[in-house]
Amino acid sequence: MNILIINSGSSSIKYQLLEMPSAQVICLGMIERIGSKEAILTFKSQDYKIERICEIPNHKAGLERITDLLLDNEKGVLKSTDDIEAIGHRVVHGGSTYTKTTLINEEVKNKIKTLSPLAPLHNPANLEGILMAEELFDTAKQFVVFDTAFHGTIPVKAKKYAIPNELYNNKGIQAYGFHGTSHKYVSEKANAFLDKKNTKLISIHLGNGCSITAIKDGKSIDHSMGFAPSNGLVMGTRSGDIDHTIIFYMVNTLGYSLGEVNELLNKESGMLGLTGFNDLRDIESEARKGNASCILALEMNAYRIKKYIGAYIAAMNGVDAIIFTAGIGENSSLMRQLVCKDMDYFNIHLDDAENDLKSSTFREVNSIDSKVKILVIPTNEELEIAKQVFDLLS
């Protein structure tokens, strides 16, 4: 069964076509910088690797370009769009309504739209991807996998804010949790590796967005992002934890509009606000040259992660393994080293040589005497979505 996975972002579309249940990747790629004259389109199959710079004005045009490549006489991988049995869409915010993979209908689409103010960087683009895919692949069954779904198990004491009950009971104000597909995928890999019952894991997803989850016996029990994907860790352009009084001060005393503060906290803060760069590779390279703001930003980032690790060890009364995943978690040995430094009280010890090895596979980077395993696990949200869609159809 061919399953196409679509992850539609604000200015990008990532796609992957998989044959299930073999999990063979037939082709994959992405479009970046949608809306510009110099959008980048990539396509990779067993026989071809294509990269084109071209004008792609909107998501519709982007998905049309992808479809053309899939069906291309020479380089394509399909004869007709009918060869795709199902499409799995990643959608960031599903509220508390959807905790499982769901077949898309009008009600689901309306809910995604209603939740857009809570994930303004993501939900509108996710919905756009769904609408376009429905037009272009009209015979395929369309499913949605919500980033919030895995966190449906977080207990009320952890997801409720200490504000009047009415807001939780009737207005849906609570912590939801995000990056669920990734945390689920890597935690299942870790559990298979540990091969024991009743595990306590801390999963750290560090990419453009960053989040950390406490996972007890395979279930998410606490998570750093909250009502929207903005709380918690320092991210590429998002501030993470901040005292909400600052927002009122900026509006009432400094003269910012609420919209400006929202833009500033989501798009101009985090590592970008601290250093002028949002890609960690640039920040690390500047830090190596002695750039003081980059050195401090790296320390602040790691310090925030450490504090959450401490909190989650307390919440679970222990930890068996700490997982690093996503672009930074998988590739930055420096970030892993800063996070794991001076954690001997918890019996967390990194093996520096193992940590420095470059690899893109599952690996254990703790020293032999470390009681807590430190695992680097490449995430694969596309495969996880394909598995969930396949399970529903079979």
For residue 45, give the H/E element and its range. strand 39-45
Among 181, 208, 230, 301, binds ligand AMP (CB under 6 A): 208
Report residue 314 as tokens: 């307390």
Distance (Å, whole) CA 242 – CA 359: 35
The SS3 of residue 158 is: helix
Q: Whose Cβ is closer to ligand AMP: residue 302's or residue 328's?
A: 328
How many residues interact with ligand AMP (rule CB under 6 A)? 11
- Residues forming a β-bridge with 25: 18
Report strand pairing: 86-91 vs 102-103.
unpaired
Among 72, 241, 279, 354, binds ligand AMP (CB under 6 A): 279
Q: Evaluate whether 111 touches 94 at the Cβ level (below 8 Å).
A: yes
Q: Whose Cβ is closer to ligand AMP: residue 87's or residue 328's?
A: 328
Q: Evaluate whether 81 touches 136 at the Cβ level (below 8 Å).
A: yes
Assess 305 for contact with ligand AMP (CB under 6 A): no
Q: How far apart are the first and last CA of the chain?
A: 10
Distance (Å, whole) CA 18 – CA 13: 16
Q: How many residues does the chain have?
A: 394
Residues sharing a CB contact under 8 Å with residue 316, sequence separation 6 or more, in sequence order = 200, 214, 216, 221
Closest contact distance (angstroms) between CB of 126 and ligand AMP is 16
Closest contact distance (angstroms) between CB of 305 and ligand AMP is 14
Among 52, 171, 281, 288, binds ligand AMP (CB under 6 A): 281
Long-range contacts of 52-58 (CB under 8 A, 24+ apart): 56/31, 58/34
Closest contact distance (angstroms) between CB of 334 and ligand AMP is 8
The SS3 of residue 376 is: strand
Report residue 202 as tokens: 């801390």
SS3 content of the chain, % helix, strand, coil (to 5): 40, 20, 40
Q: Find how far residue 288's CA is from the centre of its chain.
A: 28
Q: Which of 147, 222, 352, 356 does the annotation list as catalytic?
A: 147
Assess 9 for contact with ligand AMP (CB under 6 A): no
Among 187, 224, 331, 355, binds ligand AMP (CB under 6 A): 331
Among 207, 226, 240, 270, binds ligand AMP (CB under 6 A): 207
Assess 328 for contact with ligand AMP (CB under 6 A): yes
Assess 280 for contact with ligand AMP (CB under 6 A): yes
Closest contact distance (angstroms) between CB of 342 and ligand AMP is 22
Of the candidate spans 31-39, 108-116, 246-254, 273-281, the one that interacts with ligand AMP by CB under 6 A turns out to be: 273-281
Q: Whose Cβ is closer to ligand AMP: residue 297's or residue 326's?
A: 326
Of the candidate spans 15-23, 67-75, 217-225, 328-336, the one that interacts with ligand AMP by CB under 6 A turns out to be: 328-336
Q: Whose Cβ is closer to ligand AMP: residue 123's or residue 331's?
A: 331
47 classed as catalytic: no
Q: Whose Cβ is closer to ligand AMP: residue 140's or residue 339's?
A: 339
Which x/- pattern over 347-386 shows residues binding ligand AMP (rule: CB under 6 A)? Answer: ----------------------------------------
Of 148, 206, 211, 198, nearest in space to 316 by CA: 198
Which x/- pattern over 38-57 shows residues binding ligand AMP (rule: CB under 6 A)? Answer: --------------------
Among 301, 332, 380, 388, binds ligand AMP (CB under 6 A): 332
Give the CA diameter of the chain. Answer: 62
Distance (Å, whole) CA 100 – CA 110: 17
Closest contact distance (angstroms) between CB of 162 and ligand AMP is 32
Assess 236 for contact with ligand AMP (CB under 6 A): yes
Of 374, 244, 224, 187, nearest in space to 301 by CA: 224
Query: Which residues contact ligand AMP (rule: CB under 6 A)?
Result: 207-208, 236, 279-281, 326-328, 331-332
Residues that are catalytic: 147
